């Protein structure tokens, strides 16, 4: 079934499905686990609308391309156009929060990085952004102090809190809008905490956003 944005609460959400803008390194613990340098300016990349997949659809791992890593991330749904916005304007334009996986073909990404090439084929493939339904802004106590968790087959794999971001949610959305106009229906992924690792066929995933849990599975 084609992906559509929707609210967890069931209310209609009439927004087109747009692009996904992501930040490469926004949690210190994750930067350290991959032996990356702390960036001086945010590393941005995009996934097209074809990357989006509801969490109720099976996750399909690309075949023959090495390890496909999970990166659990807070997702932000943009409801109004933003260009050169400040953080307060960015905050007002957010109409929902969700939890997403920034699926990454890590072996391929490492090869591309070594060659100094762009990462798109490792990050922006079809279905590379499984995404939960959104909770309304008022329904999340404090988006900037929210637990993010990922359990796989019952084992805790990623555990973080959005207060550990180096660039806060709304500063990040504002910064993105100085490079790319954000349109209603676009999604921003805010970076992953430590604990990334490869997914396997048949894995059962539970993604936690504060006290809400979302189930997914790998085909
Ligand atoms: Zn990521």
- Span from the CA of 58 to the centroid of ligand 1 (angstroms): 20
Task: Please give the Cα distance from 103 to 75 (Å, whole number).
Answer: 13
- Span from the CA of 40 to the centroid of ligand 1 (angstroms): 17
CATH 3.40.50.1110 fits 20-217, yes or no: no
- Span from the CA of 15 to the centroid of ligand 1 (angstroms): 24
Q: What is the DSSP string of 75-126?
A: EEEE-S-BSS--HHHHHHHEEEEEEEE--EEHHHHHHHHHHT---HHHHSST
Does residue 115 carry a pLDDT above 70? yes
pLDDT tens per residue, range 89-101? 999 999 999 999 9
- Span from the CA of 70 to the centroid of ligand 1 (angstroms): 8
- Span from the CA of 197 to the centroid of ligand 1 (angstroms): 12
| Confidence category of residue 203, pLDDT binned at 50, 70, 90 | very high
The pLDDT, as a whole number, for residue 2 is 87
Instruction: Find the mean pLDDT for residues 137-162.
Output: 96
Helices (H), the chain: 28-33, 87-93, 106-115, 120-123, 169-179
Task: Please give the Cα distance from 173 to 182 (Å, whole number).
Answer: 9
- Span from the CA of 172 to the centroid of ligand 1 (angstroms): 14
Task: Please give the Cα distance from 169 to 190 (Å, whole number).
Answer: 7
Instruction: Find the mean pLDDT for residues 109-128.
Output: 97
- Span from the CA of 84 to the centroid of ligand 1 (angstroms): 23
In the chain, % of residues over pLDDT 90: 90
Instruction: Find the mean pLDDT for residues 118-138.
Output: 97
The pLDDT, as a whole number, for residue 9 is 87
- Span from the CA of 125 to the centroid of ligand 1 (angstroms): 14
Task: Please give the Cα distance from 159 to 110 (Å, whole number).
Answer: 24
Extents of the domains making up the chain: 20-217
The separation between the first and the last C-alpha atoms of the chain, rounded to the nearest angstrom, is 15
pTM exceeds cut of 0.85:
yes
Does residue 198 carry a pLDDT above 80? yes
Whole-number Cα distances in Å, 211 to 124, 135, 207: 29, 12, 10
| Confidence category of residue 70, pLDDT binned at 50, 70, 90 | very high
- Span from the CA of 67 to the centroid of ligand 1 (angstroms): 15
Task: Please give the Cα distance from 6 to 114 (Å, whole number).
Answer: 39
The pLDDT, as a whole number, for residue 39 is 87
| Confidence category of residue 10, pLDDT binned at 50, 70, 90 | confident
| Confidence category of residue 6, pLDDT binned at 50, 70, 90 | very high
Instruction: For 157-195, give one letter per residue: b (16+ CB within 10 A) or e.
Output: bbbbbbebbbbbbbbbbbbbbeeeebbbbbbbbbbbbbb
Does residue 1 carry a pLDDT above 70? no
């Amino acid at each position: 079934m084609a992906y559509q944005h929707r609210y967890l609460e069931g209310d209609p959400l009439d927004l087109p499905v747009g692009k996904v803008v992501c930040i490469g390194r926004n949690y210190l613990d994750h930067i350290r686990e991959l032996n990356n340098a702390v960036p001086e300016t945010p590393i941005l990349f995009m996934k097209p609308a074809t990357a989006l997949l509801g969490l109720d659809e099976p996750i399909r791992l690309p075949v023959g391309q090495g390890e496909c890593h999970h990166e659990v991330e807070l997702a932000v749904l943009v409801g109004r156009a933003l260009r050169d916005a400040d953080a307060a304007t960015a905050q007002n334009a957010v109409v929902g929060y969700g939890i997403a996986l920034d699926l990454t073909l890590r072996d391929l990404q490492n090869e591309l990085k070594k060659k100094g090439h762009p990462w798109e084929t490792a990050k922006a493939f079809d279905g590379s952004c499984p995404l939960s339904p959104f909770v309304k802004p008022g329904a999340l106590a404090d988006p900037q102090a929210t637990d993010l968790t990922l359990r796989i087959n019952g084992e805790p794999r990623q555990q973080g809190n959005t207060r550990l971001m180096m660039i806060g949610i709304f500063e990040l959305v504002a910064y993105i809008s100085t490079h790319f106009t954000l349109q209603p229906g676009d999604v921003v992924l805010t970076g992953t905490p430590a604990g990334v690792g490869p997914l396997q066929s048949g894995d059962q995933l539970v993604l936690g956003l504060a006290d809400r849990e979302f189930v997914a599975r790998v085909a």
